[in-house]
Structure 1
Amino acid sequence: MKAVENHSIEAGQPYRVKVVVEGSTIGLYLDDELQMTYEQATTKSLYQVVTRDEDTGDVVVKVVNPTSTAARTDVHVEGLAAGESVGEQATVTEMVGAPSDTNTKADPEHVVPVERTLSGVGEEFSYEFPAHSITFVRLDVEEASPALDLEVTAQPRCLAGKVYVAVRATNGEDVPVDVTLSTPFGEKAFADVAPGRNAYQAFPRARRPYPQARPR
């Protein structure tokens, strides 16, 4: 609070009083002269802390809503490493209760945390934090699978009057890799294909049956 010094109010003297409120600042004027200002303390509607789980890599959003009104807010996740993204589902652990609520011997689980799955999340999503609540939102951070150096070719082949699709995958990596060749005509898995080597499989194409006419 700040007041003008060396100024007094005389009894019986009429004054023009004006109060001006700008945000959290209140000003008192007498005859259009500022006499006193007061800074109103503000109460946050939400208190939040964001941490990173070193063991799992999850992002954990911790929010407290101390007010008597539910608050919907947008959540933006920033600072992820290149190739990281937030999964579409999150785990929410939430405890809701009035300030006067307590657990007793007769009702030991009157106020307890409740866990559930939240769908439709990502780097940006909206969430409504209930009144008088403590909420933990655990976001699953996924790492993009690295692209492998594989050269894949597919060519038609005709052997003994049968048509095949020949698929070859050559490993261009410096380490062995597992390769699965998948086509509409079949699938074949190869384990530990060495660097520079290839996985090859010819898949026979099923012949389409000729249309047949049925007498009526």
Structure 2
Amino acid sequence: MTKGPSADPGVIDLLGLLAYAELGSFFRLADDAGLAPSLRTRGQLAGLAATEQNHYQALRERLVELGVDPEEAMEPFVGPLDLWHERTEPQSWLESLVKTYVGDGIAGDFYRKVAELADADTLALVEDVLAETERAEFLAAQVRSALAENPKLAGRLSLWARRLVGEALSQAQAVAVDRPELASLLAGRGPRGGDPGDSGLDDLAAVSRMFASLTEGHAERLNAMGLAD
């Protein structure tokens, strides 16, 4: 399958990365649903998992529209994302919820920042896929409820959340280094312009600055769950 004329390599990487992330989110939320302590919570998590599957399908369809094989677009990110999940294997249902809320939250911030530098259609699709207010509120409420029953969990979960952020940033930087087209898009040399003559080192410097800004939303997410930074 050949790439369409509007299929910028950095955009393909962004869509492939996000598609695989959404597919992974579907499976994790489905697993969490099976471990939920009540039927109501199981049903709510199952519904959230279904939404992630719909997001995955939308991204896959967009890649097909661009003349790109979705599996080929996702393949470069299977290893890095699977490694992130291996390094952050939750030890309880509650830790899994915190991982979904914190890990997917910071990843979503990353995807949004990249999409802002892409074409308008890509930006609109990414914003639609990442519109997860309902999911975020549900996950935060579950953690708050658990802490109300057992406040001693707060310290351990706060440390867990900090570890998740560190691992997420480390893996995201590794992906950017390994995918120069994505780094170029992050540096502003994608569909919305930029100087194509700038060096890869400049790209990585811009990527590093962008990653540093991703921690800004961390304290807000901790507060939403009733945790302290």
TM-score if structure 2 supplies the norm length?
0.17
Structure whose residues are more often strand by fraction: 1
Structure whose residues are more often helix by fraction: 2
Q: Which has the larger radius of gyration?
A: 1
TM-score if structure 1 supplies the norm length?
0.17
Higher RCO by CA contacts (8 Å cutoff, separation 6 or greater): 2
